[in-house]
Structures are given as C-alpha cells and as structure tokens.
Structure 1
Amino acid sequence: MTADVAVLGVGLHPWGKWGRGFVEYGAVAARAALADAGLEWRDIGSVVGANTVRGGYPGQVAGATFAKALGWQGARVTSVYAACASGAQAIAAARAQILAGLAEAVLVVGADAAPRGFFRPAGGERPEDPDWLRFRLLGATNPAYFGLYARRRMAVHGDTLEDFALVKVKNAASGALNPHARYRRRVTVEEVAASAVVADPLRLLDICATSDGGAALVLSSLEFAHRHGASEPVRIRAVSTVTPHYPSTVLDLPDIATDSAAAVEPPERSFRASIARAAYEEAGIGPEELSLAEVYDLSTALELQWYEDLGLCGEGEAAKLLREGATAPGGRIPVNASGGLASFGEAVPAQAIAQVCELTWQLRGEAGERQITGARVGITANQGLFGHGSSVIALR
C-alpha cells in the first residue's frame, strides 16, 4: 500500500497582529482549505487541531475547538501539541488516520494569537523543561539563544554579519510577493546592519517576529482524491517527527563535575540533520532531487544551518551557497520562497502547516510572482521544544 496521501486543499489566514482570537484565524483558514478542495464541511471525517498554549483551555483541545467553530457534525477529533512542531505532528496524525482507513478526508488546522514582543514561558513552572530553565535561571530569551547559535557559526565556519543580512534580504524579497505575509517590503543589507542589536551579533531584522495567523490543509486518501476529480494531486510522501540522535551515558557518580564520566562523544549528526535524514529515507529520495525547501528561519543564522542539515551543501558551506544565489528564486535550490518566518513571524501551531501550503502552491504552479519554475519535489523543516522536530516531503 502506498504511504502517499493527497493534499486536496490549502488555506491561510494572513499573518499579522489582528487583535482577535486564534479560533477565528483557524476557522478562516479551514474554510479556505475546504473551498480550495471543493469539499463541504460534512465531507470531512476527522479534524486534527494543532494546539496553542496561549488560547486557554480551547487552545489545548484545538481539534474540538475548531470542530465546534465550524459546526459539530460528528467528525472524529484529535488535538496535538509539540510547540513549533505542532503543525507537523498534526499532519502526521492526519496521515496515519487516512492510511489506517479511519477517515478518507481529514482537516488539519493550526492558529495562534501571539503576544507582543518575544515569547515568554507559558503554562506554569516546568523545572524538567530545558527551555523553561534557560528562561527562568539564565534569563536567556529566544533571541539570546539565537545569538549564541549565530556566534557559534561565526566561530566555527567563519560566517559574517553580512552573510546573515543576505538571508534577510533574500527572504524579504520573496515575502514582498506573498499576499499572506505580514511584512511585504524589500530590505537592504545596510538596513539590516542599521537595525537595533537585540542579541549580539543578531540585529532586529535578523530575528523573526511573533504573529497572529492560521493555516489549514485538507488531506485525503488518493482514492478519495481521484473520486473527487483530482487526477494528479500534490502528495505527501514522508512526514518525519523523530527525536534527536544523542549518545547515551550513565551518570553513576554523586558529583559528575569531578569525573570525566559526564563527557561523551558528540552526536554523529545534529538534531536537525536527524530529522531530514528520516524524511529522505522514508520518501526514498535525496536532497539532490529537491526543487525547493521551506525551513524554520527563527533567525537568519539558523536558516544557514538548515542548508547544511538538509544536505543542500557540506558542513560550513552554507554562506557560500547563499552568496552563489543557489537558495534564491531561480537558483539551484530555492529556500523560503514564501518569505519564511522573516516575512511572516511565528504563529506557532500554524507555521509547519503553512510551510506545506507553500509547497502545495509551488508544486501546483499556483504561487504567482514567487513561482519556482518546474517545481516537483519540496521539503519542509522545523523544530520544537523538548526534542520535537519535523520534516515533510511533498511531490507531484
């Protein structure tokens, strides 16, 4: 049995700061996806919601919340949470239901109404959560974390501030062509350099904003798609939601600081590379077959890291790939043709779903001015808290 599922419909609520609730954003996106699929709400057999921790109890049972907003009609509901990977986990759950024969058509929805400024810990004390600890004990907000990562790339690979700025310039140019994007203005390297330092070496324009927004997909079995007139739909071939590969070690001393037992060999590959490899293996393809990629550019430096972790280039070669124009529209492997988070900002449960929306438009040839010529295979990639990561491969 094929593991492919069809993407029948896609929909977005534009990103921004709209001052309304996440349910409204998700319902708008869901109705757009249903219209794009040419289906009625009653045709949907299951609803999978990507949860938000900022929406109170309704946000924690997003599947039922969106089903209620659209009109209860007896569909099965599922709610999932994996922080920034929530949308991809929702896609994985929907795909599993379809392949198991539990539903023929599934609606996947994620939406968020984000606070102003940078994210802060939500949901109470979580002393077992490394991200909560870095916020509370170190005061290391997300931008501080991004800045440390950027410094590492500068030290290890020789990346420069101009390299980081060029990522923003590229993504802003694509975002300017995307009607769903929040920021639709081109920028220059000089403007990035002149923006305020947030977490050295990163400037304000190196870091993505927090946003409101919503995204939705209608997924189905291939048989259902063919019965409803989609002879050659975009197909999801792989969904990777693996944990990192890290060495195991047993700490059996009362004071690990006095002994080398705490020291271990570094992992054979990074967390993000583990995610990508699992997707490639499941899809039976390699990075050389990709037409485009949508990656999780929380910062400009992190986008460069994804180039290497997705196998688009060798280790330490990301800045060279960028400068050659390979990741720009018209290049060998365009990255973030949507404009990325640089142009959208984070609407956490929606963003992995929105990435698949972009792949779908591109693979259908419906991306308008930002269309990648001849796009046939695309990959998404993002990461969430606590070892959650995801990658989706779609093709046509």
Structure 2
Amino acid sequence: MTGGEVAVLGAGLHPWGKQGRPFWEYGVAAARAALADAGLGWREIGSIVGADTVRGGYPGYVAGATFAKALGWQGARVTSVYAACASGAQAIDTARAQILAGLADVVLVVGADAAPKGFFRPAGGDRPDDPDWLRFRILGATNPAYFGLYARRRMAVHGDTPDDFGRVKVKNAAMGALNPYARYRKRVTAREVAASPVVADPLRLLDICATSDGGAALVLAGMEFARRRGVTDPVRIRAVSTVTPRYPSTVLDLPDIATDSAAAVVPGAVTFRESVARAAYEEAGLGPEDLSLAEVYDLSTALELQWYEDLGLCGPGEAAKLLRTGATAAGGRIPVNVSGGLASFGEAVPAQAIAQVCELTWQLRGTAGARQVAGARVGMSANQGLFGHGSAVMLVR
C-alpha cells in the first residue's frame, strides 16, 4: 500500500542531558524551535499530537493536552499516543494521517521525557500480567541484561567480537561530538571502550546508551499548505511503518516467544525489525540501495549491527564486516547514526524517534553542518518499542 506524502516544515530539539526539569518544559522548548524553523506561529497550528511518557505522572499520559496547555490553549485538535520507544513515530504517523484525511493542514508533533537515573523500570506498581514487569521481577533482566544476551547471540551466530561493538561506539561518539544537541560530545577511542566497566558481559559501560532528558518536535503539513507558504521543495515524509512482527502462525502460544520488542525467531518467521523495514520500503517504493543515510535505534552497540542487516544494508551476519569497511561511518557508502545516535544522546523515550526525523530533515536540507552527508536525498529512521511496537520513517528530498 502506498501512502501520501506530507511536508516537514519545521524541526526542533531541546538538548539532551540530565537537567532536572519537568518533561513538558523540554517539549515546549522543542516545539517553539520547530515552529520558528517553520516560520509559523502556534495559533496557526490546527492539531497537536503528543508522544506520551509514563514517567511524567498523569500529565505524561495526556502529553498532547499537556503541551497544548503549556503553549496556550487556542482550540487545536489534540491527540496523545503511547507506544513505548516507538511513541514518537506513532505520533508522526497519527499527524500524517490527520493531514492526509483532511482533518488539519498543519500539525505539531512533540515528544519529551525526564528519565530516571539508572535503569528504566516499569511504571505503575506491580503488574503481574505485564511481561515486561515479569522479566524485571522474576528474571532480574534489566535492559542491559538482555542487551548483553543479544550481543552474545551475535558473537555465537555471526562471529562478532567485542572489538566490533567498540567500533560502533567510536564511530557514533565521533559524530555526537559534532552535534550541539547531544548529551555526550566527546570522542572516545577503542581502548577507552575496552577499559570501561563491564555492565552485562560482553557489553561495557560505553557499549550501552544512558537514560536522558530531552525533547523533540516537528511541524508537518500537507503539500498544498506548503506550496501556499512558498515552500516548493520541502523534505517529505513518504512512508511511516508501525507494523507488528510476522509469524508463520498467529497463535502466540510458543514457549520461547520473547517478552519484549526483540522477539524470538521461530522457523519461517520474519524478525520484528525486518517486518518494520520491509513495510516502510514497500510503502515508499524504495529499497536499501536508495538510502543516503539511516538513523537507527542503538540501545547497545550490538543492536546497531543488527539493524544493518534488518534494514538490508548488508546480508545476514555481514554487519561487522560492513562496519569494518567504514561504509557506515561519516563519508562512507551508507552513514548510520550521523547524529551520534543514542550512544551520544541517551534515551528520552517519547522524543527519540522524533529526534531521528529531525536529524534526517536537516541532512536532507543540507543544513547539518559538520555532520552533513554529502548529497543526501533519502533517509530512513528505525526504532522499536515493547510488545511488537516498531517504527520506520522514510524521508525524501
């Protein structure tokens, strides 16, 4: 199925970090930046879609309304969405649907978070019917634990090494050092990665992304609205994929079904990330060979390597080889995470998928400064959320 295009008129970020402010302050700052970038006033916005945060109390569960109130109630349609780490992309998808349905000419999308120090943990008390809560309470499997298990699997199946994982961090840190919005703006060496403390063997501290505060926003509009405003060649969102995994059977009663977004692979299955990427390519009418760059969800260095394969940048088991050639670094054939990725930003959960699209927008405009990918025309973002929530966004210029 082919969807319609919408224009990205504005993009804005609030710098990531640990600043001790309410989440909505980061979102409002990002929203104002995106509005200024678009040359629009808040009163011109017909709809606002907020990506929810479960860590912001009740205001976080109704993020769209929270941001609308903070910006000043002006009668705009309001929507709030939640899809764990895919919340931002779901918010983009909702905004696009409203525009294509004729419900609004221009929509503001906002996501922001004020994250806890240390590990993420399920919010809302005891939930014994929640597989995510169960893996924490029964297995003690915090996020870094399953990041480590995934890294071990890549080592066993594909021959990846801790040095390969370290190369991902070195690459991303080099780009994050050039990004004024990144939390960590310091290059690191392979030796520094290898010397950092082990968190979940084989992953070390510098292999794993932090939890962060931050905000991101986009102003999306219909193509006719963009033309009326004199924007004749905008960056355009051509596809948004938010599909679930595919299995040979729709009866999910297998004992080894994973409890999180890195779903277990069974014979005949298409992996979760592959499903998301394929749907985006099909909707956009594009393929991996068309990409100028990609922004992927590097919760850990090992997971970035998996994305290379699932996005079709290389064949199964060839990600480390692709990395070693320099193809995914700045100046390479297909640069990945030129923003610095989560390695440089950390996780501000509802904002991160929106931030990926901000980076792609700047790259396709040619305004990314020292991070600029020469001649960028097509970009793809990809990330995943708990329980089969996933997302990929395709942008073109």
Please say if 1:205 is aligned against 2:206.
Answer: yes
Q: Any runs of at least 4 consecutive aligned residues in structure 1 with deviations exceeding 3 A, and if so which?
A: 249-253
Once the two structures are superposed, residues 111-134 of structure 1 have per-residue CA deviations (whole angstroms, 9 ceiling, x without a partner) of 000010111111233333322111
Give the whole-Å Cα distance in 2 for the aligned partners of 1:264 and 1:156: 13
Unaligned runs of 5+ in 2: 257-263
Please say if 1:33 is aligned against 2:34.
Answer: yes
Partner SS, residue 352 of structure 2: helix
Aligned to 1:86: 87
Give the aligned residue type for 1:376: R
Calculate percent identity across the aligned residue pairs: 83
Once the two structures are superposed, residues 204-230 of structure 1 have per-residue CA deviations (whole angstroms, 9 ceiling, x without a partner) of 000000000000000000000111121
Once the two structures are superposed, residues 263-313 of structure 1 have per-residue CA deviations (whole angstroms, 9 ceiling, x without a partner) of 995243210000000000000000000000000000000000000000000
Give the aligned residue type for 1:174: M
TM-score, L = length of structure 1 = 0.96
Partners of 1:129 and 1:386 within 8 A in 2: no
Aligned to 1:184: 185
Give the aligned residue type for 2:80: S
Give the whole-Å Cα distance in 2 for the aligned partners of 1:140 and 1:97: 39
Give the aligned residue type for 1:218: V
Partners of 2:64 and 2:78 within 8 A in 1: yes
Unaligned runs of 5+ in 1: 258-262
Partners of 1:29 and 1:216 within 8 A in 2: yes
Give the whole-Å Cα distance in 1 for the aligned partners of 2:202 and 2:115: 25
Aligned to 2:309: 308
Partner SS, residue 215 of structure 1: strand
Please say if 1:222 is aligned against 2:223.
Answer: yes
Give the whole-Å Cα distance in 1 for the aligned partners of 2:177 and 2:250: 48
Give the whole-Å Cα distance in 2 for the aligned partners of 1:149 and 1:264: 12
Flag the 1:265–1:59 CA change in 2: closer, same or farther, 3 A. closer
Partner SS, residue 118 of structure 1: coil
Aligned to 1:104: 105
Aligned to 1:74: 75
Once the two structures are superposed, residues 231-275 of structure 1 have per-residue CA deviations (whole angstroms, 9 ceiling, x without a partner) of 10000000000001123266999xx89xxxxx9952432100000
Give the whole-Å Cα distance in 1 for the aligned partners of 2:81 and 2:111: 10
Question: How many residues matched?
Answer: 389
Give the whole-Å Cα distance in 2 for the aligned partners of 1:252 and 1:75: 44
Aligned to 1:260: none
Give the aligned residue type for 1:335: V
TM-score, L = length of structure 2 = 0.96
Partners of 2:3 and 2:239 within 8 A in 1: no
Give the whole-Å Cα distance in 2 for the aligned partners of 1:311 and 1:129: 32
Partner SS, residue 86 of structure 2: helix
Give the whole-Å Cα distance in 2 for the aligned partners of 1:264 and 1:11: 37
Once the two structures are superposed, residues 91-139 of structure 1 have per-residue CA deviations (whole angstroms, 9 ceiling, x without a partner) of 0000000000000000000000001011111123333332211111101
Give the whole-Å Cα distance in 2 for the aligned partners of 1:80 and 1:299: 26
Aligned to 1:115: 116
Give the aligned residue type for 1:211: S
Give the whole-Å Cα distance in 2 for the aligned partners of 1:132 and 1:361: 38
Partner SS, residue 279 of structure 1: helix
Please say if 1:339 is aligned against 2:340.
Answer: yes
Root-mean-square deviation (CA, aligned residues, Å) is: 1.7
Partner SS, residue 108 of structure 1: strand
Partner SS, residue 80 of structure 2: strand
Give the whole-Å Cα distance in 2 for the aligned partners of 1:250 and 1:283: 30
Flag the 1:168–1:250 CA change in 2: closer, same or farther, 3 A. closer
Give the whole-Å Cα distance in 2 for the aligned partners of 1:376 and 1:341: 23
Q: CA deviation at 1:2?
A: 6.6
Aligned to 2:18: 17
Partners of 1:249 and 1:264 within 8 A in 2: no
Partners of 1:183 and 1:344 within 8 A in 2: yes
Partner SS, residue 110 of structure 2: strand
